[in-house]
Structure formats: structure tokens, C-alpha cells
Chain A
Amino acid sequence: MCRMGSDPGLTELRRGVLGPCVLALLDERPRFGLELVRELAAAGGLLTSDGTVYPLLSRLRDAGLVTSEWHDPAGERARRYYFITDAGRGQLKSFRADWTDFAATVTKVLFLPPGTPAGTSAQPGEEPPDE
């Protein structure tokens, strides 16, 4: 588990990717809120605060990307479970494709060797050369 810094730009980046990460977890199986919080917190660096997940769930449901329903099994605590919808799966698929290209581009530009025109060198994931 790692914790990223509290740079405002990073906070915005986290906000941008948190929704797809929640959709990805729900695509695996339905989960309840605290479960999502714990898993995202365990992944590290995705949450600016634990409470961030709850407003996000509400917005995802308003957007039709997830649904929710109460589960109240005998002898256990009642919990609201969240389920991904077809629209949510479609958006997750689209984001995964965009993210691969986006991450590759960002990595390429971020780690561009000095003096090299953008787009002519550095492969995705390539380490910057030692000076």
C-alpha cells in the first residue's frame, strides 16, 4: 500500500480515476460501501479521504452506471449493496481503452529523454536514462 502526496493536481487525478476503479471492483462482484472503501484504501493512493467513495456511489447511481439494493441476511448487519449496470460496464470498457493510451502517452512525455522531440523516442514504461 502506498500513499500519494496531497498535491491539488494529484487530488483531481484521483477523483478522475476513482469512478472507473469503483466500476471495476463492482464489475468483479457486487460490493457494499465500506467494502469498497477498504479495498480502495488497501490499493493505496486512490483515496483522498475514506468518505470520498460515498458521494461517488451516489453520483454513479444517478448517472445510471450502478444500482443499489439493501441486503438484510438473517443474523447479519443490513447493508446496501451496489451493482454495476450495462451502462456502467460500457463506460468501464471505454475507460480502460482510453486509459491504456492515455497512460502510455503521459509516461512517454513525462520520461522523455532531454533533447528528444516528443513522439520520436521513449517507449511506454521506459525508464528515464541516467544522467
Chain B
Amino acid sequence: MSDTVLARPVVKQYLRALDAACASLPAAQARELHELIAAHLDETLPPAATDAEVDAELARLGTPRALAADAAGPARPPALRRLRNRLGRVRWWTWTAIAVLVAAIGTGAGYLIAVNSAAPLVASGEIGWLYPADQAVAVMTTAGDVTQTAVPYRFGQRQGIVVSLVNESAWTQEIVGVGPRWDFGSLPGQSAVTVQSGPDLNVAGVPAPGTSTYYASPGAIPPNSARIVRLFWTSDLCMGGGDGGIGLDQITLLVRVGGITRTENIALQDAFLLISPKHSVTRNCQ
């Protein structure tokens, strides 16, 4: 058996209830009341007191709520003071944890805002069609300010374009794929994008003498730099004779910026046009 009655569960529970009831009191006052009540119990009850004796002494003391009400006095403290008292008993390490958490959230929010405010990629100029089969038959037309290059639609074959994109932001932007609403290639996995890469490319994407470039997916465009980007797909859309064609005046890419992947719609300076042949095969028509 313990040498003090304060170790009894019922006494501990009583003192805990007292602490809870005194939560709105100034911390020093609540601490002193706890100390006085504990001293009272320790002195009035011998360690070997029976449960009945302990219960009777607790009853003589009154309920924790009544003691707390007495300590508060006739008029309860205003809500603001009660709140201040409650906050006053929050331990320093709790405040430290809160401060760290707020700083982390603020830093994270600032980071996300900075990432999302990074300028999207822009097209600086179109290079042309990716495959020689298309480039050889491409027809360039200009109407007003609009220039477009047109090639026949080659159903079931790979077709693609080459464009130059500029990253005008201070963040590295990594192109990880084509966007979810790609105009060509209705089947998943049929479209792809690669980015000019190399060990010594300058901001314009020009390799250092004696070095080579290659195309990678995913591929990164450093801050304030330009890179050539290839987009290609398997042309499998149903375009029967007389449908005209499909124009491509913007591309949609999935771009990772600072750990965040976002969709960027990039307007092209000139348009690419896939013209339906007069007697196309319509195997993919529903």
C-alpha cells in the first residue's frame, strides 16, 4: 500500500476533476487550490484509510465543481479573461509545436502559391512536321495573320509535330506527357511527347560544340530557356472522305513544376492541319 492517500485512484480522480473544473481560473490560483486540497486530504486521511473514510472526506470537501465556483468568486470572470487563463496554462512546448506547424503550413502554402504562379510554357515558333513523309508534302498557307501548314491524314500511322517552347519562369518545368484532352489519337498511350535534352545545352537549346542532343520523356526545360519539343501520335481518328480535316492551334501538356504536376494549354503561333483524304479508310469509326 502507498504511504499516502493521494495515490488512491478515487483521490487522483477527484484532483483531476478539480483541475478540469478550475481550467478557467488563473493558473496560479488553480495550482494553489489543488495544492491545498491535496494537503488537506493527505493530512486528514491516514494511508490506511478505508474507502468509506476516503469517500466521506471527499464528500465533506464538496464537489470539485463547487470548489472551482467558490474560487471564481461571486462573479464569473469575463469570457476574454477565461480564455486568457486557459491559454495561459498552455505549455511552452505546445506553443512551440503550434509555431512550427504554422510556419510549416505557411511555408507550404507559399511554396504552392509560388509554384502555381510560375508562368506556363509558351510556344516561340513552330519547326514543322516530325516525319519526313509529312514534311515532304506539307503545304504552307497564310491568310491574314494566320499561317498554317497542312498534310494529309495518314490513318493508322505515326504522325507528329515539332515545336519550340520557352520556359519564362524561374522554375524548371518538366514535361511529363500530353494532356488528357489530346486532339489526336483517341486511344490511351498512342500519344507521346519528348523534349530536347543534352549535357551542354545553352538557354536557347543550342548544344556546346562537340556535344550531342537527344530527346527524352519526361524532359525538363530549365528556367528562362528554350527547348525543342516533339509530339507524336498514331492517327486513328475516323475521318471519312469529305470531312475536311483537323486543325491544331494549341497543345495540352502535363508539366511538373516544383513537385506539382499541372496541365498547361499552350497556344501555337501557327496552326497545324491534318487534311482528310478523299477516300480514307474508316476502320475506327463507331
A59 and B32 CA atoms in complex are apart in Å by 11
Q: Is the Cβ of A59 less than 8 Å from the Cβ of B71?
A: yes
- Interface segment among B38-46, B126-134, B149-157, B238-246: the answer is B38-46
Q: Is the Cβ of B39 less than 8 Å from the Cβ of A79?
A: yes
- Name A49's contact: one of B35, B43, B62 (CB within 8 Å): B62
A34 and B39 CA atoms in complex are apart in Å by 8
The interface residues of chain B lying within 8 Å CB-to-CB of A86 are none
- Name A50's contact: one of B40, B68, B71, B73 (CB within 8 Å): B40
Minimal beta-carbon separation of A115 from chain B (angstroms): 38
A62 and B33 CA atoms in complex are apart in Å by 13
The interface residues of chain B lying within 8 Å CB-to-CB of A56 are 70
Cβ of B135 within 8 Å of any chain A Cβ, yes or no, is: no
Q: Is the Cβ of A52 less than 8 Å from the Cβ of B40?
A: no
Q: Is the Cβ of B40 less than 8 Å from the Cβ of A33?
A: yes
The interface residues of chain B lying within 8 Å CB-to-CB of A48 are 62
Given known A49-B60, A58-B33, A59-B73, contact A34–B67 (CB-CB < 8 A): no
Q: Is the Cβ of A33 less than 8 Å from the Cβ of B36?
A: yes
Q: Is the Cβ of A54 less than 8 Å from the Cβ of B60?
A: no
- Name B61's contact: one of A15, A49, A62, A77 (CB within 8 Å): A49
Given known A33-B40, A54-B37, A56-B70, contact A62–B60 (CB-CB < 8 A): no
Which DSSP category, helix, strand, loop or mixed, fits chain A's interface? Answer: helix
Which of A48, A55, A56, A58 has the most chain B CB within a 10 Å cutoff? Answer: A55
B-side interface residues, number (CB < 8 Å): 19
Q: Is the Cβ of B40 less than 8 Å from the Cβ of A80?
A: no
Q: Is the Cβ of A77 less than 8 Å from the Cβ of B37?
A: no
The interface residues of chain B lying within 8 Å CB-to-CB of A52 are 62, 67, 70
Q: Is the Cβ of B33 less than 8 Å from the Cβ of A54?
A: yes
Cβ of B7 within 8 Å of any chain A Cβ, yes or no, is: no
Q: Is the Cβ of A62 less than 8 Å from the Cβ of B29?
A: yes
Interface residues of A in 35-75 (CB under 8 A from B): 37, 48-52, 54-59, 62
Given known A33-B40, A56-B70, contact A51–B32 (CB-CB < 8 A): no
Q: Is the Cβ of B39 less than 8 Å from the Cβ of A80?
A: yes
Interface residues of B in 35-66 (CB under 8 A from A): 35-37, 39-40, 43-44, 60-62, 66
The interface residues of chain A lying within 8 Å CB-to-CB of B62 are 48-52
The interface residues of chain B lying within 8 Å CB-to-CB of A57 are 36
B42: nearest chain-A partner, CB-CB: A77
A32: nearest chain-B partner, CB-CB: B39
Minimal beta-carbon separation of B68 from chain A (angstroms): 8
Given known A50-B60, A50-B61, A62-B29, contact A55–B43 (CB-CB < 8 A): no
The interface residues of chain A lying within 8 Å CB-to-CB of B60 are 49-51
Q: Is the Cβ of A77 less than 8 Å from the Cβ of B43?
A: yes
Residues of A in contact with B (beta carbons under 8 Å apart): 15, 33-34, 37, 48-52, 54-59, 62, 77, 79-80
Residues of B in contact with A (beta carbons under 8 Å apart): 29, 32-33, 35-37, 39-40, 43-44, 60-62, 66-68, 70-71, 73
10 contacts across the A-B interface (CB closer than 8 A):
A33-B39, A37-B40, A48-B62, A50-B40, A50-B60, A51-B40, A51-B60, A55-B70, A56-B70, A58-B71
